[in-house]
């Protein structure tokens, strides 16, 4: 039986190669999803920390506290409160002595 060599069948190797390629693609896709999610969570945490630090600095700043106390001539919130208080007082029944 020393003739020509038999032909080699590479179907098994091709199937293994396709399966390995799908496996690597799946791993890369999952890795990308995890990386994007982690970056989003880190950005969210940094934004919350920055907001907290800004609020703390504003609370400690004497200039900000002074500016908050003296708002100037345009004070819509105090006008709304005064108007609401006036309406509530006018709706109360009057006492007769």
Tell me whether residue 4 is in a domain: no
Residue-number span of the structural domain to which 35 is assigned: 11-70
What tens digit of pLDDT does each residue of 18-56 get? 999 999 999 999 999 999 999 999 999 999 999 998 888
Q: For residues 84 and 21, what is the distance between their CA atoms, to the nearest angstrom?
A: 70
Q: Is residue 77 part of a domain?
A: no
Q: Is residue 5 part of a domain?
A: no
* Domain annotation covers residue 42: yes
Helix axes 62-69, 11-60, angle to 10 degrees: 70
Q: Let me know if residue 44 belongs to a domain.
A: yes
Residue 84: inside a domain, yes or no?
A: no
Query: In a 3-state reduction of DSSP, which class is residue 33?
Result: helix
Within-domain flag for 51: yes
Q: Is the pTM higher than 0.85?
A: no
- pLDDT, tens only, 61-89: 777 666 655 556 666 666 666 777 777 77
Report yes or no on 36 lying in a domain.
yes
State how many domains the chain has: 1
Residue at token pair 């004497």: 62
* Structure-block tokens of residue 80: 């709304």
What is the per-residue pLDDT for 78? 64
Structure tokens at 82: 């005064």
């Amino acid at each position: 039986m020393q003739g020509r060599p038999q032909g080699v069948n590479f179907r098994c190797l091709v199937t293994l190669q396709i399966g390995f390629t799908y496996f690597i693609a799946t791993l890369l896709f999952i890795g990308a999803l995890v990386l994007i999610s982690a970056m989003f969570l880190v950005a969210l945490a940094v934004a919350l920390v920055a907001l907290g630090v800004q609020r703390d600095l504003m609370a400690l700043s004497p200039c900000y506290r002074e500016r908050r106390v003296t708002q100037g001539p345009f004070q819509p919130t105090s006008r709304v409160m005064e108007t609401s208080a006036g309406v509530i007082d006018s709706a109360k029944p009057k006492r007769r002595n």
